[in-house]
Structure 1
Amino acid sequence: MKRDVSLPPGQRLIDRFPRFGQDLSRPPPAVPSDPLIEIRGAVTKPLDVPLIVLATLPRREITADFHCVAGWSVTNLRWEGVSFESMYRILIEPALTPGTSVTHLVFSGLDGWRSVVMIEDALADDVLIAENLDGRPLDGDHGAPARLVSPKQYGYINTKHLCRIDVHAGEPKSIDDTLIMRLLSSHPRARVWKEERHRYLPAWSIRRLYRATIAFILPRGGRDPHRPPQPG
């Protein structure tokens, strides 16, 4: 674990990209034989986008750092996929219910995770629907078959195993139904350089608790971002 002044406030550099999520005792979800992303919500009719169709849109590659809300960061990850703005402008925007002013999108994964993203953050120029990491297809630990990548936001925004996007004309109702979950609820923006970790808790109040979890994360292993992919 290392300090690095180039990282956002409260973050510590680690040397591998571990699997993260709610229940790491369970295996990653199985990849469907014909994976697709459902588009629902404020659209004229349900829209299903097979990943083979998504892959025909203009491709983009970015090198970016990944920042977990728990306080660890991994640098120089190379993601490749489709710009989310391209997907939105080409596929989603034409399907919107007439008169809809979109404010939020909900990204849902096969593992049950969901993230709520404001439209201006989702359309940032570095946001991808990624299928590859460091020149190889995503594996189960890191979001196969496709995932959201939003480098300027904390990791909980970056939904893995992406299978559905819901379009909203207002902020969706929270599903946090206990006091502790409400306290830990996601920040509406989750911008890493502003340390917007949670909606209600000030960032400084939870840094030490999160920092203690890093020691438990590291032994789980993960991809070393400074080691080139090995064949086979």
Structure 2
Amino acid sequence: MSDDDYKPGLIGQIKDKLISSKQQWAKDGRLLTGEASSRERNRLPPGQRLVRDWPVLDLGVQPNILLDRWQLTVGGLVGNPVKLDWNAFLDLPQSDSISDIHCVTAWSRYDNRWTGVLASDLLKLVKPKAEARHIVFQSYDGYATNVTLQMFSAADVLLAHSWDGKPLTREHGGPVRIIMPQYYLWKSAKWVKHIAFLDRDAPGYWEVRGYHNTGDPWKEDRYG
């Protein structure tokens, strides 16, 4: 076992502790203010605090994915299923984007600079079928989260591989993570490896543990 691997017992202990505490947050309604606001009026959603650093939050496991072994598959209800290795991913149209991010644990960070593949360009490639309405992101650490096709189709959504001009680090979801700026950050799956297009909703890891199915920060959609 390499230094980058985790012992199974330790993984289990960390995961159990994190899951238990966050499920309790949902039961208690922790951090809720009840003050929904308009994103047109207020840049900072209700109940959030502004930070300058970028806190690290995960399930206690940070998979170490070598670029020559990284792979992204897209399937389900699409006309053109794809399997992309690293070079094929970089051959797709690349875009730069600046956006704010908002974590359900009540911190927000402004003006993050991303480089990656816009969701709109991926959609042009895979051609979702007419019956596709929902998407599930699956990650290398076993995580999954669900969004609607409409949410994923927004102009500011992308599959990011770089942040502030540098490759996205392992701790923040590199090589590639989803970025959906208009929703709480748990919807922006780290270490993404598969994107499935579905005709039905399929709640993900936190959604089945008491968290909101949509996750709109301006509506305080923290918990279901």
TM-score (norm 1): 0.72
Q: What is the correspondence of 1:70-149 to structure 2 with a 5 Å cutoff?
A: 70-90=105-125, 92-93=126-127, 100-149=130-179
Q: List alignment gaps of at least 5 residues for structure 1.
A: 200-232
Q: How many residues get paired?
A: 182
Question: How far does residue 174 in structure 1 lie from its aligned partner after superposition?
Answer: 5.9
Question: How far does residue 190 in structure 1 lie from its aligned partner after superposition?
Answer: 1.4
Task: Map Cα deviations across residues 65-86 of structure 1 (whole Å, 9 max, x no partner).
Answer: 1100111111111111110111
Q: List alignment gaps of at least 5 residues for structure 2.
A: 1-41
Which residue of the partner structure matches residue 197 of structure 1? 222
The answer (yes or no) to whether the contact 1:183–1:198 under 8 Å persists in 2 is: no
The answer (yes or no) to whether the contact 1:110–1:162 under 8 Å persists in 2 is: yes
The answer (yes or no) to whether the contact 1:100–1:169 under 8 Å persists in 2 is: no
TM-score (norm 2): 0.74
The whole-number CA distance in structure 2 between the counterparts of 1:35 and 1:73 is 29
The whole-number CA distance in structure 1 between the counterparts of 2:204 and 2:166 is 35
Question: How far does residue 138 in structure 1 lie from its aligned partner after superposition?
Answer: 0.8
Q: Which runs of 4+ in 1 moved over 6 A?
A: none
**Alignment RMSD:** 2.1
Task: Map Cα deviations across residues 157-216 of structure 1 (whole Å, 9 max, x no partner).
Answer: 00011111111011126667xxxx74623x2321222221122xxxxxxxxxxxxxxxxx
Task: Map Cα deviations across residues 116-167 of structure 1 (whole Å, 9 max, x no partner).
Answer: 0100010000000000000000111111110100100101000011111111
1:31 aligns with 2:65: yes
The answer (yes or no) to whether the contact 1:118–1:188 under 8 Å persists in 2 is: no
- Identity of aligned pairs, percent? 29
